[in-house]
């Protein structure tokens, strides 16, 4: 299985949803970077379930760092994060040993791993595995902030309710990094939460869109053609369970624009490049322009729903029905935003290290 991402700074994920523990190994980070365990804990809380809006599974998500950190700073060797699984109910998944859940990886995993995969709670395919991404991402986010690079993600839409886009960027970033349910227009939070609750009461689920912004990146980061910054971001973002689409800047809307509408006119003031528009998302030719990097991520509705569904018995290939039991999220978009921030930070640490050298992040 391919569980490692990154060239200079890399992350490797391990564990299963109902196994003893999950975690990550972050390799390639420069020595001497401060590691704030309080900030790691804060980031982990943003990924945890929120009241009735999320699964009833409650994990403490206490992160144990067992290598790569000494006296509060990175040593330059691999950093290993271990997170124990404590609130598992594997009996809820007995039927799933032979019934494939629609929308999940059960059937495709069976075809690849021939029944040897751990199916409990989705096993290695579970969103639970993203906890390791958030733990490692917290170190990456801190390192980037020290270089003046800031990342923030908000819930652009959920259940058909839309938040506003970024406007006063610096203030918006500060707001998002201090709230639990990440919206820019606070009036939209109640409507989104009502849509999630309504879906839950009907035994169903909803999806949404995340919008991520990065400021403070120098121009010139990225590569042309096959390793464009967009393609590297997309590669990493599609690893997040339930992500079904990624677009940069104006995205698909650019297809309906004229060139005169889509082009971002450059302005220079005191040696700093700016533009009144950012339809290209801060990336041209696969390389940063110095404008904010902006992209959106589509999150599909949580596939675990309580309605009866048609499926197959993966052992006999016969048609059957399935009504899922257990504890599941009616929406994950609000929990996924910190995962998007973390993935973004890990990509950027890798790309910056390749452009300027590993010690750039010290």
Give the pLDDT confidence of 47-61 residue by residue, as tens digits.
987 677 766 556 778
Q: Residue 265: pLDDT above 80?
A: yes
Each residue's pLDDT tens digit, 304-314:
888 899 999 98
pTM: 0.94
3-state secondary structure the chain: CCCEECCCCEEEEEECCCCCEEEEEEECCCCCCECCHHHHHHHHHHHCCCHHHCCCCCCCCCEEEEECEECCEECCCCEEEEEECCCCCHHHHHHHHCECCCCCCHHHHHHHHCCCCCCHHHHHHCHHHHHHHHHHHHHHHHHHHHCCCEEEEEEEEECCEECCCCCCHHHHHHHHCCCCCCCCCHHHHHHHHHHHHHHHHCCCCCCEEEEEEEECCCCCCECCHHHCHHHHHHHHHCCCCCEEEEEECCHHHHHHCCHHHHCCCCEEECCEEECCCCCCCCEECCEECCCCEEEEEEECCCCCCCCCEEEEECCCCEEEEECCCCCCCCCCHHHHHHHHHHHHHHHHHHHHHHHHCHHHHC
Question: What average pLDDT does range 6-24 have in this prediction?
Answer: 94
pLDDT for the residue numbered 56? 58
Q: Which of 146, 19, 14 is nearest to 78 (CA)?
A: 14
Domains of the chain: 4-361 (3.60.150.10)
The whole-chain average pLDDT of the chain stands at 92
Is 101 a residue whose pLDDT tops 70?
yes
Q: What percent of the chain has pLDDT over 70?
A: 95
Beta bridge partners of 212: 153, 295
Q: What pLDDT is recorded for position 301?
A: 95
């Amino acid at each position: 299985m391919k569980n490692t991402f990154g060239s200079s700074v890399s992350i490797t994920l391990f564990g299963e949803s109902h196994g003893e523990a999950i975690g990550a190994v972050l390799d390639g980070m420069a020595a001497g970077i401060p590691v704030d365990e309080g900030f790691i804990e804060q980031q982990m809380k943003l990924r945890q379930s929120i009241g009735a809006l999320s699964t009833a599974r409650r994990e403490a998500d206490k992160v144990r760092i067992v290598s790569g950190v000494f006296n509060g700073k990175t040593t330059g060797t691999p950093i290993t994060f271990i997170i124990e699984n404590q609130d598992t109910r594997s009996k809820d998944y007995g039927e799933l040993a032979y019934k494939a859940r629609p929308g999940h990886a059960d059937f495709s995993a069976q075809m690849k791993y021939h029944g040897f995969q751990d199916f409990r709670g989705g096993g290695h395919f579970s969103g639970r595995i993203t906890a390791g991404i958030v733990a490692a991402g917290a170190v990456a986010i801190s390192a980037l902030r020290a270089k003046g690079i800031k990342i923030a993600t908000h819930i652009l839409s959920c259940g058909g309710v839309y938040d506003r886009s970024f406007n006063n960027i610096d203030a918006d970033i500060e707001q998002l990094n201090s709230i639990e349910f990440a919206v820019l227009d606070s009036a939209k939070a109640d409507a989104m939460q009502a849509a999630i609750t309504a879906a839950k009461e009907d035994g169903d689920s909803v999806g949404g869109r995340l919008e991520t912004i990065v400021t403070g990146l120098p121009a010139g980061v990225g590569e042309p053609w096959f390793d464009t910054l967009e393609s590297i971001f997309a590669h990493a973002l599609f690893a997040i369970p339930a992500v079904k689409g990624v677009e940069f800047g104006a995205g698909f809307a650019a297809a309906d624009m004229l060139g005169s509408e889509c082009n971002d006119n450059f302005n220079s003031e005191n040696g700093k490049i700016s533009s009144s528009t950012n339809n290209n998302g801060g990336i041209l030719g696969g390389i940063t322009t110095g404008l904010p990097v902006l992209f959106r991520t589509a999150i599909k509705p949580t596939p675990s729903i309580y309605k009866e569904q048609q499926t197959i018995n993966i052992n006999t290939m016969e048609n059957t029905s399935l009504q899922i039991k257990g504890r599941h999220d009616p929406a994950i978009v609000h929990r996924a935003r910190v995962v998007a921030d973390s993935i973004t930070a890990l990509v950027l640490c890798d790309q910056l290290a390749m452009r300027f050298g590993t010690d750039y992040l010290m």
